[in-house]
Structure 1
Amino acid sequence: MRPGKETLINIPDMNQNVGALLNNMQDHENGEALLRATLDLVPDLIVLKDGAGRWLFANRLVLETHSLTEEQCLKRTDLELILIRPELQEIFEKNVEADEKAWAAGSPLLNEKILTGSNGKLTYWEVVKTPIFDAEGERKCLIVVSRNITERKENEKALKAQELQYRLIANHMTDIVSMMKPNGEIIYVSPSLKRVLGHSPDSLEGSQQLKLVHPEDTDKLTVLIRETASKIQNAGREDIRLLHRCGLYIWFEIAVSLVQQNEREEDFLLVTARDISIKKDYELQLQSMAFRDSLTGIANRRHLMTRLEEELGLTDNTPSPLAILYLDVDKFKKINDTLGHAVGDELLQQIAQRIGDNLREGDLVARIGGDEFVVLLPNTDCAEQIEGIAKRLCAALSRPWQIGGHEFSSTSSLGIALSPQHGQTPAELLHCADRALYAAKREGRACTRFYQEADEPGDSDVLI
C-alpha cells in the first residue's frame, strides 16, 4: 500500500473507549489475554506505541494488513519496521510524521489518508492518534485507531456526483424551477431563469415571484399558490405571462405543487415554469383560422355570429341602435364567367379592403359566403347615420376596378336591418337584412334599403 493525501483536524477523542479498555483490563487477572481477544474482534486497526514510538501492541487486523507478526513489530519503531517491510517505507515515514504532530498537539488528532492497496484499489482511512502523558507530563503512550471509511467516502462521492448531475440539469434546462415558502417568499430559483427571462436568480430570491407576473394574471397565480399552500389542492397549473428583462411578456405554464416535510421542517411549494409561447402562437393561429375568411382575411360567419351575440347582449344597457348591412356584388357570376375565377377572387379581396377602409373603428365586416358580405355597425346614433355609411359603401364599391390587366366596374346593393326594431337575435337580423337586400336589387341595384315587412317572401324576387 502507498499513502495518499492527508488532512489533520482537531476533533473529540474517537478512541477514548479503546484507551479506557487498555487501562482497565491491565488490572485484572488474565487481563492481557482478554484484552487481546477483545481488540482482535474490533474491525479497526489498533496500535499502541510507547513514548519513544516503539510498538507495544497491534491487533490482528494490523498484523494482517501489514503482513507482520508480533515478533517482527513489537518493540520496534516505524522506522525500524522499514527494514522488514521496505515496500511500506512511505507509510511508516508518514506514521512517524503524524505521531509527532499528535504529541505536539497534546490532544487527540484526526488524520484522513488515502491508501492504495496492492490490487490498485483506493481505501480511505480515518486515523485518530491519542497521546497519553504521565504525571510529570512526559510521553507515556500513543493510542492509534484507524477506521476504514472507504464505503462512506464512496457514498459521499456518489452523492456529489448525483448533486453534480442535478446541477448540470438545473443549469441547462429550459424550464424555470423555484422553491417558495407557503407565504410566497422565494427561497430558490434555478439558473435557467437568466437564460430564459434574462433575470438573475439572486434578484428574485427572498422576494415574491409575483413581481414578474403580468398584472392581468396576478390574481390567477395568487389563487393557485394560496390554494396549493393551504392544501385545498395538492397541485395545480395556470397559463401565466412573465416579464422578460427586455420588457416583453412571455407565456408560461406555471405548475405549483406542495412538498410536505417532516414535523421539524417547514413545507414548501415547488414551482415550475415552462415556456409555451410557441403553443400560444399556434393556438392564436388556429383561432384566427377558425374566425377568419381564408380568401379575404376578414371575419367569417362564425366570427360574425359570435360578435353579433355579444353586441346584442349589450343593447339592453345602451339606447343606441345596432345595424346590420347585408351586401353582395351585382352580376358577380358574369364577372367570374367572363374574366375568370382568379379575377373574381381578387375582386372579393379588394371589395373587403374597400369596405374596411370606409368603416369606423369597432365596426366589423365579414364574408359569409360567395360574394356576400355583412357589416356590423354597433353604437350608431340614428338611422340617418346608418344610411350615410351604407351609401358611402355603395359609392366606394361602384368605382372602377383594375385587376389582372382588366379595368371594369361593378355595383353592390345593401340591405339594412336594425335592432331591436327588426329583430333581437342574430338569425332574425340577418334574415331581415337579407330580405332588404333582395328588395334593393328589385329597385334597380347599387342602392340601399332598410327592411320593411313588405320585403318578406311573396314578392317577386328576381336575383341576377
Structure 2
Amino acid sequence: MRTRECGWLAALSLASLSGCALDADWLVLLPGLSFGLGGLLLAVAGLALLVASRRQAGMIRRMRDFSDGVGVVLWKMDPASGRYLQVSRRAEALLGYPCEAWLAEDFWREHLHPEDREFACNLRATQLALGLNHEIEYRMVDAGGHEVAVRDTASVLRDQRGCITGLAGVLIDVSAHRALVQALDESESRFRKVMEQIPNIAVQGYDSERRVVFWNSASERVYGWSQQEALGKRLEDLIIPDAMREDVIELHRRWLEYGEAIPAGELALRTKGGATVPVFSCHVLTRNAHGTAEMYCLDVEMEDVKRTEAAWRESERRFQLMFAKAEVGLALRTLDGRLTQVNPKICSILGYPEDQLLCLDLAALTYPDDLPAELEAIAACLDGRQSSYSLEKRYVRHDGSTVWAQVTSSLIRDESGGATQFMTVVEDISQRKDREAQIAWLAHHDSLTDLPNRALLRDRLERSIARAQRRERRAALLVLDLDRFKTINDSLGHAVGDQLLQQVALRLRNAVRETDTVSRQGGDEFLIVLGEISDLEDIARIVQKILERMELPFELAGQSLSSSVSIGISVFPDDGADSDTLLKNADSAMYCAKEGGRNTFRFYAEAMNESALERLKMESALRLAIERDELTLHYQPQVELAGRSLLGVEALLRWNSATLGSVPPGRFIPVAEDSGLIVAIGQWVLAQACEQVRRWRKEGVGDICIAVNLSALQFRRSDIVATVRDAIEGSAIPAHLIELELTESLLMQNAEDVLRTMRELKALGVRLSIDDFGTGYSSLSYLKRFPVDRLKVDRSFVKDAAENPDDAAIVRAIIQLGKSLKLDVIAEGAETAAQIDFLTAEGCHSVQGYYFARPQPEREIRALLTLAAIPPAT
C-alpha cells in the first residue's frame, strides 16, 4: 500500500473512531488495490487511446471497482496495555470472534501468529516509543485456528499538548486476496518492463521542476535523446518547441498550484536533431510514494495506434486471467441480478458449471429467507443511499444443499457516473458458521451428555409455567441426584463416572415424554421439567418409570453396576409460582428423599420433614456463630518430605454451637455455601489466620505460613482482592505468609475473570495453590497461565495410591505435571507409612495428613511449630 493511501485510511479510521458515524457496509470501499507505477501508466495510456478503443477504458473501470470491494476493520487501542478499545463491525468477519471479544485484555497479542508475535509487538512498541505512525503486515489466528494475513496501518493519537493518548488504525484482511494481489504485483513488474521496452509508446516522467525522472527506450527512439542524456534535464529543454515553451510551463504551474488537468491531444514535438514528430500525448498528474509531485507523459506515434491496441488486448487477457485464478468467488451481474461473468471459484462454491450459472439470477440462487435483506441492500445502492453492501447469506447449491457466504457487492459506474453493474465477491464461510452453531449449542447444553444446561432449563421451565398458567394446568420440576455416585467415581475413575452419567442421561430421556425437558446441572444432578400435568398421579407414574429404568444394571468398564436416584418434586402452582421457588423447593424435597433411604422420591410440602427443619435451624444458628464467638480455627502441619521440616499449616474451620453442639464441617460448610454465609465466614477465617501469623511472629515462634481455603462463592461475590489486602495490612504481616487455596473447579468458571483476579492477588504477594487437584476438568492451556505456586493432590487419589495402580498413575502424573510447570506438589490425606514411602519415591515435595498430625487447636499445635523435623504421630 502506498504512503498516500495509508495516510488516507488512517485518517479515515481516526475520524470514525473519534465519533463519526461508522457504516460497516461502507467500509468495503475503503481499501484500494494499488496497481503501482506500471499499472498506473498503462491505465493512463488507456485514456490516451479512448479514441481507438472504448473496451480498454471498460477494463480499467473494472479493475478500479474490483479493488473497491475489499473490507477493512477500523480500530482504536490503548497504547499502554495494547488492548483494543473499539473495533468496527468488520472485526467479527475477520477472525470469527464477536466485537466484544476483541476488547478483552491481551486479545491482539494472544491472537497474533506465534511466529509473528515477537516482531509485531516489538515494532509496535518501538514506533509508539518514537511517536511514529507505522504500517506492518503479519498473521493472526482466527477462532478456528486458521491463519489470517492482515495489513495493519496505525496512527498515533495526541492531545492538545502533544502527549500520546492512543492508537487508531485500519486492519485489512489480505489473505483472501493474496493470490490476486500477488498477481497484480507481478503484473506491475511485467508492465513496467513493458513500458521500459515497448517500441511504440514513449513514456517520460518529470518532477515538480519538470526534470526528467523516467525515460523509456521508446522515448529514446522517438526523440533521439538517450536515457542518460535525458535524466535530470528539463522537459522544455528536450522536446518542447520554442513556440510552445511558455504555454507548457504555464500549464505545469497551474496543475501544481490549482490541480488543473492538462488536456490530452495531438502535438508536434521536437527531436534531438531538431526535427518535428507528431504524437498523441496525454498526461498523468500524480504524486509519488514520498508525496512529491510528478507528471508522466505518454506519447504515441500515430502510426503505432494499431500496435498499441494489440498490447491492450493482451492486458485485457491478463486481467481475465487474474479474475479466473482469484481465490475468492467473483461475479459480474446486472442491476436486476442476472449473472454475466463468473470465475471458477464461485462455480465451486455454488456447485454449478459456468454455463448453467450464467442462466440464473440472484433470486434463484439465494436461500428464500435471506433474499429480502439482499434486495433491500440492492435497492439502497440503486437509489443512491449507498454504493456497496456486505452481508452474510445462504446460497442454494445445485444439489439443493445450502452454503453460507460472506457477500460483498459494489456498484460499477460508467464515465457519466451511471450505475451499470455489480462486482460481487463471495467467500465461503460455512466452516465458521458451523463453529458458531457449535458454540451456541455448547452455551446451552452440557458437553458430556448433550442435555440442556441450567440456562436452557430455566428458559424451558419458565415457558412451561407460562403455558400452564394460561391453560390452568400444572407443571412440575424434578430434581434428581444419583445415589453413591462419588463412590463409583472414586473407585472406578472419572472416565467410568462419565460413562455412567451418559447412560443415565439416555435412560432419563427415554423415560419421559417428548414434550418434557431433561437437563444436567453439573456433577451427578439432573433436572426434569414436566409440562401439561393434569394431576399429581401423572407425575407419580412418570417418576416411578424413572426409578424402574434406573434399577436396571449399568454395563460399565466390563462389569455390571447398580445405581439409583433420589428425586425431589415441586409442582406449579402448588409449591411455587416462579422458577426460583420451584427449584428451591424441589431441591429441598430431594434432600428429604435421600434422607428417607434413597432410591425414592418425595413431593415438596409446606410442612417440611424433620431433617429439613434441622437444616433451617442450623442455618439460623450459623448466622449467629461469629457474633457468639462459636467459630475456631484448627491447624494441620504441612511437611516437606525430604527433611521432614515444617513448611506451614492449613487453617481448618471448626464450629461448636451453643444450641447444636459440635457440628462437623461436612454438615455446616454446605449450609454456609447454600445460604451465602460462607462469604462472611471466609472473611473471618482470613482475618483470624493473619492475626495468628502476627502473634506467632511477635511471640518468637517464627514466620509460619498459613494456608486458607477460599470458597467459589467468596471468590466470586466479594471483593476478594480488597478483603485479602485489608486482612494483611490490618495485621501488618508479610503477604507471603498467607497462602490462598482455590478449588480446581473454580478456575474453569469464567477463566479469564478468574485469571485476572488471581494476578491481582499475586501482585499483593500472597501464595496461591490449587486445592483438590485432579477432581476437576482443568485445561492445561489455562493452568500454565494461572500464577499458582502449588498443586494439592486430592486425598481421594492419595488414599489408595500405594495399592491401586490407577490412583498411583494419577498421583504420579500430577507430580510430574507440577515439576514440568515448576510448581510444588503437596499430597493431602497422607495417613500411612506406605503412602509416605510411595510419595517419597515418586518425588512428591510435601504432604499433609494424619500420619504427622490431625488438625489441632493453636495451643496444641504450637509444640510442633519449632521442631527441626516433624515426627510421625503416635
TM norm structure 2: 0.33
1:416 and 2:562 aligned: no
Question: What does 1:128-277 correspond to in 2, within 5 Å?
Answer: 148-150=302-304, 153-154=307-308, 156-157=310-311, 159-205=312-358, 207-263=360-416, 265-277=418-430
Per-residue Cα deviation, 1:428-461 (whole angstroms, up to 9, x for no partner): 3322221221222233322223332234995235
Q: Are 1:296 and 2:449 an aligned pair?
A: yes
* Aligned-partner Cα distance in 2 for 1:415–1:164: 77
What aligned pairs does 1:7-156 form with structure 2 within 5 A after superposition? 148-150=302-304, 153-154=307-308, 156=310
Whether the 8 Å CA contact 1:177–1:189 is kept in 2: the answer is yes
Tell me the SS of whatever aligns to 2:419: coil
Q: Is the 2:324–2:344 Cα contact (8 Å) retained in structure 1?
A: yes
Instruction: Find the aligned partners of 2:532 and 2:407 in 1 and give their Cα distance.
Output: 40
Instruction: Name the amino acid aligned to 1:418.
Output: V
> In structure 2, what is the equivalent of residue 68 of structure 1?
none
Distance 2:316 2:532 in 1: 64
1:305 aligns with 2:458: yes
Match of 1:328 in 2: 481
The alpha-carbon distance between structure 1 residues 292 and 245, as it changes in their structure 2 partners (threshold 3 A), is: same
CA distance in 2, matches of 1:314, 1:183: 47
Does 1:371 find its partner at 2:524?
yes
In structure 2, relative to structure 1, the CA distance for the partners of 1:404 and 1:376 (3 Å cut) is: same
| Preserved contact between residue 411 and residue 419 of structure 2 (Cα < 8 Å) | no
- The match for 1:453 is 606
Q: Deviations over 1:177-213 (max 9, x none)?
A: 3334444444444443332222244445475312122
- SS of corresponding position for 2:613: coil
Distance 1:299 1:268, change over 3 A: same
Q: Would the aligned equivalents of 1:323 and 1:416 in 2 still touch at CA under 8 Å? A: yes
> What is the match of residue 864 of structure 2?
none
Contact 1:193 1:200 in 2 (8 A): no
Give me the whole-angstrom Cα distance separating, in 2, the residues matched to 1:382 and 1:176: 61
Change (3 A) 1:408 1:200: closer
Amino acid paired to 2:586: A
Question: Does the Cα contact within 8 Å between 1:184 and 1:225 map onto a contact in 2?
Answer: no
Q: Residues 327-376 of structure 1: CA distance to partner in whole angstroms, max 9, x if unpaired? A: 01112223334444433232212111211222322432221111101122
Structure number, greater radius of gyration:
1
The alpha-carbon deviation at position 324 of structure 1 amounts to 1.9
Q: 1:334 to 1:206 in 2, by over 3 A?
A: closer
Given that 1:416 and 1:433 are in contact with CA atoms closer than 8 Å, whether structure 2 keeps it comes out as yes
Q: CA deviation at 1:275?
A: 0.7
**Counterparts of 1:264 and 1:293, CA distance in 2:** 57
Judge conservation of contact 1:170–1:191 (CA < 8 Å) in 2.
no
Whether the 8 Å contact between 1:180 and 1:270 is mirrored in structure 2 is yes
Contact 2:333/2:422 (<8 A) preserved: yes
The offset of 1:276, in angstroms, is 0.6
User: Which SS does the other structure have where 2:614 is aligned?
Assistant: coil
Change (3 A) 1:223 1:309: farther
Which amino acid letter does the alignment assign opposite residue 377 of structure 1? L
Q: Does 1:431 align with 2:431?
A: no
Amino acid at match of 1:197: L
State whether residues 224 and 256 of structure 1, in contact with CA within 8 Å, keep that contact through their aligned partners in structure 2: no
Instruction: Give 1:444's aligned residue.
Output: 597
* Alpha-carbon distance in structure 2 between the residues aligned to 1:235 and 1:382: 61
- Quickly say closer, same or farther: Cα 1:347–1:207, change in 2 above 3 A: closer
Partner amino acid, structure 1, of 2:379: R
1:229–1:269 CA contact under 8 A, matched in 2: no
Distance 1:223 1:355, change over 3 A: same
2:547 to 384, 394, 417: 394
Deviations 1:39-71 (A, max 9, x none): xxxxxxxxxxxxxxxxxxxxxxxxx99xxxxxx
Question: In 1, are the aligned partners of 2:468 and 2:531 still within 8 Å (CA)?
Answer: no
Which residue identity does 2:454 align to in structure 1? R
Quick one: which amino acid aligns to residue 432 of structure 1? Answer: N
Task: Please name the residue that 1:352 is paired with.
Answer: 505
Distance 1:289 1:149, change over 3 A: farther
Residue 304 of structure 1 contacts residue 366 of structure 1 at CA under 8 Å; is this kept in 2? yes
* Residues 475 and 531 in structure 2, CA contact (< 8 A), matched pair in contact too: yes
Q: How many residues align?
A: 321
- Give the % identical residues: 31
How far is the alpha carbon of 1:397 from its aligned partner? Answer: 1.1
Alpha-carbon distance between aligned partners in 1 of 2:366 and 2:535, rounded to the nearest angstrom: 44
Cα distance in 2, alignment partners of residues 148 and 448 from structure 1: 101
The structural deviation recorded for 1:287 is 2.4
Q: Which SS does the other structure have where 1:446 is aligned? A: coil
* Pair 1:210–1:297, CA change in 2 (3 A): same
Structure 2: runs of 5+ lacking an equivalent: 1-220, 223-278, 280-300, 616-665, 671-874
Using the TM superposition, give the Cα deviation of residue 402 of structure 1 relative to its aligned residue in structure 2, in angstroms: 2.5
Distance 1:234 1:405, change over 3 A: same
- Cα separation, partners in 2 of 1:422 and 1:405, compared to 1, 3 Å: same
CA contact (8 A) 2:350 2:396 kept: yes
CA contact (8 A) 1:194 1:201 kept: yes
Give the drift of 1:389: 1.7
Change over 3 Å in CA distance of 1:216–1:376 after alignment to 2: farther
One-letter amino acid of the counterpart of residue 153, structure 1: R
Q: Aligned partners of 1:156 and 1:314: how far apart in 2?
A: 76
- Once residues 316 and 221 of structure 1 are traced to their aligned partners in structure 2, the CA distance between those partners, rounded to angstroms, is 41
Are residue 361 (structure 1) and residue 361 (structure 2) matched?
no
In the alignment, the residues of structure 2 paired with residue 199 and residue 290 of structure 1 have an alpha-carbon distance, to the nearest angstrom, of: 36
> 1:382 and 1:301 mapped to 2: Cα distance?
26
Structure 1 residues 266 and 233: CA distance shift in structure 2, 3 A: closer
- Whether contact under 8 Å (1:179, 1:189) holds in the other structure is yes
TM-score in terms of structure 1 length: 0.60
Q: Helix, strand or coil: the match of 1:453?
A: coil
Contact 1:321/1:379 (CA < 8 Å) preserved in 2?
yes
Decide whether aligned partners of structure 1 residues 333 and 165 sit closer, same or farther in structure 2, where only a CA change above 3 A counts.
Answer: same
1:405 is matched with: 558
Q: Distance in 1 between matches of 2:465 and 2:387?
A: 42
